[in-house]
Structure 1
């Protein structure tokens, strides 16, 4: 399995070990010159890329920020939806495509920015996400001619703008840090999450899952 690792503006072309390192811009320029691409092959904020035959996996990084989450705690689709404005640590979206079709989206947290492929990612305790990070997306389609950048951006918007609901809650319930639960009291966990600062959220003891390289490898091998 060949992979591309991007760290601090440097691209590592890896086959079990780093064989060559060049700047990110030089890498993109080389791709354009050799293959005729008019835009970068990798979506914005891609830090890790893996390919195995027709399967492609992109690890997308999102810096800590504050987002407004739409949440409907009742499974009844006609029930009330609430909004919570919560701080998020570093977020890593692992996007898998098979040919032109979206295969899966996995989402993870991390208190610090990923530096190497063997850094551990942590469970993102949000509704609609399984314990292994797999997101329940429903039915999503792309135009077959859409650039990969456009597809990934659409996927990110869909995820964050969607209404999180009570269909899948076990990770949300079981992996929520104690500090958030304590501030929630009898309220919804999101209510306590709103009372956490961005600095605090990056220091919380999120539940460890697997290394970035192991997650990407699992997606490539459909595991």
Structure 2
């Protein structure tokens, strides 16, 4: 509850006193933080930087482990950890199901262009590039495979769920393994023909 006194609003940003709590952290508009705490009988307010808030909640040591080849960037966002990995052009083996009337799985080894693979939280994205090495501003294209949405998001199926795997860079390797070993089907295929 804000008052009409601007100075009062700055000194008590939410207008609620500490009752049972010893302290509270206020998330203010514009990405600002205010720490309200009890100092003796007096309530005190202190504005904090995002870096200070982050440091206060990071009691664990962070170690990425050995970073796999091709990882070009990583960070943390609202969905969790994210990674960008480049896979150079290579022959890759894919298994396809339900692409003909027999329904039998078919494995094909095909030459693939360079791949930009992104893991963001539990969601994977994939794009193709003509580049043989990673270039930040290179154009990206839709990967010519089924099970990939128009925005590059991969439909991993119900049995491939990343949420049961620990956080960390090993999750990226698991996501790639799931993508490469999951059978591709005719989901998300619109007017695409496979000639086998």
Select 1:132's aligned residue among 136, 151, 166.
151
Distance 1:152 1:94, change over 3 A: same
Question: Residues 64 and 168 of structure 2 are in contact (CA less than 8 Å); yes or no, is this contact kept in structure 1?
Answer: no
Q: How many residues align?
A: 134
Do 1:75 and 1:167's aligned partners in 2 also have CA atoms closer than 8 Å? no
1:155 is paired with a residue whose SS is: helix
Between 1 and 2, higher relative CO (CA 8 Å, sep ≥ 6) is seen in 1
2:77 aligned to which of 31, 52, 56:
52
Q: Which consecutive unaligned segments of at least 5 residues does structure 2 have?
A: 1-59
State TM-score, norm by structure 1.
0.51
Q: Following the alignment from structure 1 to structure 2, what is the Cα–Cα distance between the partners of residues 57 and 38?
A: 15
Tell me the distance in 2 between the aligned counterparts of 1:130 and 1:164. Answer: 13
| Distance in 1 (alpha carbons) for counterparts of 2:73 and 2:110 | 27
C-alpha distance 95-38 of structure 1, shift in aligned 2 (>3 A): closer
Contact between 1:70 and 1:83, CA under 8 Å: does it hold in 2? yes
Give the equivalent residue in structure 1 for 2:129: 110
User: Which of residues 95, 98, 111 is equivalent to 1:73?
Assistant: 98
Is 1:160 aligned with 2:180?
A: yes
Q: In 1, Cα distance between the equivalents of 2:79 and 2:93?
A: 36
Of structures 1 and 2, the larger Rg is shown by 2
Would you tell me which structure has more helix in proportion to its own residues? 1
Distance across 2 between alignment mates of 1:83 and 1:57: 30
- Establish whether residue 82 from structure 1 lines up as the match of residue 98 from structure 2: no
Question: Of the candidates 136, 150, 160, which is equivalent to residue 170 of structure 2?
Answer: 150
Residue 119 of structure 1, CA deviation: 2.8
1:10 equivalent in structure 2: none
Q: Structure 1 residue 64: deviation in Å?
A: 1.4
Matches within 5 A, 1:30-49: 36-40=61-65, 43-49=68-74
Q: CA deviation at 1:114?
A: 2.6
Structure 1: which 4+ aligned runs deviate by more than 6 Å? none
Q: CA deviation at 1:85?
A: 0.9
Give 1:80 shift.
Answer: 0.7
Q: Distance in 2 between matches of 1:54 and 1:84?
A: 34
The Cα offsets for residues 62-84 of structure 1, whole Å up to 9 and x where unpaired, read as 111111111113498x8211111
| 8 Å CA contact 2:64, 2:169 repeated in 1 | no
1:93 and 2:117 correspond: yes
Deviates more, 1:60-69 or 1:43-52: 43-52
Q: Any gaps of 5 or more consecutive residues in structure 1?
A: 1-34, 174-186, 192-223
In structure 2, distance between residues paired with 1:74 and 1:89:
22
Give the secondary-structure state (helix, strand or coil) at the position aligned to 1:158: helix
